Copies of this chain bind each other. A is one copy, B any other.
């Protein structure tokens, strides 16, 4: 686990030094950018060949590449309630709209959940004359409660 955090630190440092963007790294690895970012930050195991490419691109040690490949123990917020304002706003969305999301999932699908495992997401910038907008799309398979 520490090994994965160390690899993430290294990724961030090299990325800053080389002036790379996550978009560029994702393209170089031929993976979606959200997946790439979270995998290199240690929240997903990276397939060996992708990790090797990342190791070259980001000048990682063999040990850091091995850490990228390894299975993570996930969970990256540090505290139960996030304090960083950029992350907190998403927690606030849950506080204000959580029961609404629940009502509408049940109305449209019945009893069940949106999977966070069979799941993909995107973070986009949408231009808007009144100020550009952050659009985050959460897209997960519906899983019905099934005995």
Contacts and interface: CB of A to CB of B under 8 A. Distances in A.
Contact of A134 (B33, B105, B123, B124): B105
A129 to B, nearest CB: 12
A41 interface: yes
A99 B39 CA distance: 11
Given A106-B86, A141-B128, A96 B116 contact: yes
Given A102-B73, A108-B125, A147 B35 contact: yes
Contacts of A140: 89, 133-134
A111 interface: yes
Nearest to A23: B107
Interface in A93-147: 93-109, 111-121, 123-126, 128, 130-147
Contacts of A113: 85-86, 89, 117
Query: Lowest 6 CB-CB distances: which A-B pairs, in order?
Result: A75-B83, A114-B134, A38-B100, A104-B123, A89-B116, A37-B100
